[in-house]
């Protein structure tokens, strides 16, 4: 090829960064621009993981190394479809990879789900992670909270809402979030799962942490473990030590004495939500008890009402449509085959690819994301001869376009400045615990800090 291959990646979360890193290591002469709608990189690692998960957030170290190597140019605070359109990208790049993830809550279609006090987990996660595009305040006025779901997000939400606020100061939690949690009157958080304790989609680390939250009693119920033979059958069928460990852990909690803790976190199983109760706001949730029959979870016809003044649904995420990119509304993903985006006739669109959750749906861990990016990049490399060549491949052309449109984009150097600023805020914090950083929330402040000492462009 006479000139460098020009590739745009949309989304600077793990999926986009992995794709860029893998592409940069193919040996091709390639120039990569990584676009992000937020001023800072890392996607769900910064804005989708509970702040009290430092071990999980340790993945930032490896993502940092990938971006710090200089082979990928980060352009943040750029909204794809508005600040930069697909038509723009097709003119400026030989290939475009969509890696926008999945950040919307999946629906829970039951009566009353839209009552005031009913929330999606994604929204409260964005709030307590300091996402710049959500309100600074959150209505934490419930004494009893119901969380629907049996995955890590449900556990994260329940733990953060139940945790004593002073224990959150060890994290990068923003000041407004700590103030909101400190004012919360919550005493009981109930997590409900439709299936049994051997079906949970937690991880052992998540579950172990749940049982070690200071000042919070974690409670499970004998009735949910009554079908010992059925639970053991599910454990055996799973064939993984992970399921065995988690089931054993929860069974051990049955005999653990309750303390005089001011807050309690309850795990309920075999509960299928059928209605949110209340007239003007959430007052409770009605559940049907379920049971295991011939390997399937079925309703028993027994209904129970649980009091709650707030409800959070954590039943999964779904991707959002990407402007001008073919989208499968039913699955919530970009329409594709192994990362090659498909047109309305089901044929590959030359030069257009997808990776990560927007490609395969919100399943799997970080390791799956890396393998997923590898598949997409392998197809891009094999398609090189058929890629439509960019009409204006000059790397400066996109910068000129953004400047012409008045977009205050941020860069990797800007992120390093913001990162240092947040760490300085943590060092200067007067809390009784040492704080590594305090996260800056407002978008305009992030942009100002990022660009203050950086010559943009």
5-103+319-409 and 105-317 agree in CATH topology: no
Query: Under a CB-based contact definition with an 8 Å cutoff, are residues 158 and 147 in contact?
Result: yes
Residue 116, phi then psi, degrees to nearest 5: -55, 135
pLDDT value of position 314? 95
Q: Is the pLDDT of residue 365 over 90?
A: no
Instruction: Give the confidence band of 238 by pLDDT, cuts at 50, 70, 90.
Output: confident
**Mean confidence (pLDDT) of the chain:** 93
Structure tokens that stand for 144 in this block: 């009893």
Write out pLDDT tens, residues 384-397.
999 999 999 999 99
| pLDDT above 80 (res 54) | no
Asked if residue 211 has pLDDT above 70, the reply is yes
**Chain-centre distance for alpha carbon 61:** 18
Pair of tokens at residue 123: 């929204």
Looking at residue 205, what is its pLDDT?
Answer: 83
Query: Tokens for 315?
Result: 């039943």
User: 162: number of CA atoms within 13 Å, CB side?
Assistant: 33
pLDDT at 432: 87
Q: Yes or no: say if 224 and 268 are a contact pair by the CB < 8 Å rule.
A: yes
Least confident range of 12-26, 251-265, 404-418: 251-265
- What ranges do the domains of the chain cover? 5-103+319-409, 105-317
* Statement: residue 53 has pLDDT above 90: no
Q: In terms of residues, how long is the chain?
A: 457
Average pLDDT (310-318) is 95
| Tokens, residue 311 | 């409800």
Nearest to 19 by CA among 93, 78, 11: 11
DSSP characters over 331-382: TTEE-EETTEEE-TTS-EEEEEEE-THHHH-S-S-HHHHHHHHHHHHHHHHH
For residue 455, what pLDDT band results from cuts at 50, 70 and 90?
low
C-alpha 336/C-alpha 330 separation (Å) is 13
User: What is the arithmetic mean of pLDDT over 330-336?
Assistant: 95
Residue 6 pLDDT exceeds 70: yes
Q: Are 387 and 350 in contact (CB under 8 A)?
A: yes
CB count, 10 Å around CB of 43? 26
Local confidence band at 240 (pLDDT 50, 70, 90 cut-offs): confident
Tens-digit pLDDT profile for residues 109-161: 999 999 999 999 999 999 999 999 999 999 999 999 999 999 889 999 999 99
Higher pLDDT, 366 or 317: 317
CATH class of 5-103+319-409: alpha beta
- Asked whether residue 413 carries a pLDDT value surpassing 90, the answer given is yes
Integer Cα distance of 146 and 307 in angstroms? 8
Q: Which two tokens stand for residue 6?
A: 């020009």
Reference 154, options 255, 60, 50, 65; nearest CA is: 50
User: For tokens 């204006």, what's the residue?
Assistant: 392
Tens digit of each residue's pLDDT (9 = 90 or more) over 251-283: 999 998 888 899 999 999 999 999 999 999 999
Q: What is the pLDDT of residues 150-176, one digit of tens each?
A: 988 999 999 999 999 999 998 999 999
Looking at residue 456, what is its pLDDT?
45
pLDDT at 203: 83
Q: Which of 443, 436, 440, 442 is nearest to 58 (CA)?
A: 436
Q: What is the DSSP string of 382-414?
A: HTGGGPPPPS---HHHHHHHHHHTT---B-HHH
What H or E segment, with its residue span, contains residue 162?
A: helix 152-162
Quick one: CA torsion of 189, 202, 180, 47, rounded to 10 degrees?
-160
Chain-centre distance of CA 400, in angstroms? 32
Task: Please tell me the CATH code under which domain 105-317 is placed.
Answer: 3.50.50.60
Mean pLDDT over 170-190 rounds to 95
């Amino acid at each position: 090829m006479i000139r460098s291959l020009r590739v745009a990646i949309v989304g600077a979360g793990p999926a986009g960064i992995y794709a860029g890193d893998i592409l940069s290591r193919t040996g091709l002469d390639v120039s990569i621009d990584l676009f992000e709608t937020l001023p800072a990189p890392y996607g769900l690692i910064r804005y989708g993981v509970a702040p009290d998960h430092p071990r999980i957030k340790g993945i930032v170290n490896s993502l940092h190394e990938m971006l710090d190597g200089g082979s990928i140019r980060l352009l943040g605070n750029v909204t794809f479809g508005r600040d930069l359109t697909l038509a723009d990208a097709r003119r400026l790049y030989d290939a475009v990879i969509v890696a926008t993830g999945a950040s919307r809550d999946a629906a829970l279609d039951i009566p009353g789900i839209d009552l005031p006090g009913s929330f999606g987990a994604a929204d409260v996660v964005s709030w307590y992670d300091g996402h710049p595009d959500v309100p600074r305040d959150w209505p934490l006025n419930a004494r009893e909270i119901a969380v629907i779901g049996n995955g890590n997000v449900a556990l994260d939400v329940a733990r953060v809402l139940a945790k004593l606020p002073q224990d959150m100061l060890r994290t990068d939690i923003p000041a407004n979030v700590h103030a909101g949690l400190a004012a919360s009157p919550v005493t009981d958080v109930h997590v409900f799962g439709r299936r049994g304790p051997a079906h949970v989609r937690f991880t052992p680390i998540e579950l172990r942490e749940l049982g070690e939250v200071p000042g919070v009693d974690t409670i499970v119920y004998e009735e949910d473990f009554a079908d010992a033979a059925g639970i053991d059958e599910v454990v055996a069928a799973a064939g993984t030590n992970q399921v065995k460990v988690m089931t054993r852990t929860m069974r051990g909690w049955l005999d653990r004495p309750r303390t005089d803790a001011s807050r309690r976190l309850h795990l309920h199983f075999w509960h299928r939500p059928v209605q949110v109760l209340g007239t003007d706001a959430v007052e409770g949730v009605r559940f049907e008890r379920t049971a295991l029959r011939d390997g399937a979870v079925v309703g028993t016809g027994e209904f129970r009402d649980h009091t709650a003044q707030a409800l959070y649904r954590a039943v999964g995420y779904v991707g959002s449509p990407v402007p001008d990119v073919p989208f499968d509304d039913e699955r919530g993903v970009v329409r594709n085959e192994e990362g090659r985006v498909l047109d309305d006739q089901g044929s590959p669109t030359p030069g257009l690819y997808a990776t990560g959750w927007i490609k395969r749906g919100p399943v799997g861990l970080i390791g799956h994301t890396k393998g997923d990016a590898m598949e997409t990049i392998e197809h891009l490399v094999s398609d090189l001869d058929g890629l439509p060549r960019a009409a204006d491949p000059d790397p400066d052309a996109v910068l000129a376009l953004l400047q012409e449109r008045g977009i205050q984009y941020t860069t990797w150097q800007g992120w390093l400045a913001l990162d240092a600023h947040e760490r300085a805020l943590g060092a200067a914090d007067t809390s009784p615990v040492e704080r590594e950083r305090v996260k800056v929330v407002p978008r305009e402040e992030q942009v100002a800090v990022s660009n203050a000492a950086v010559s943009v462009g």
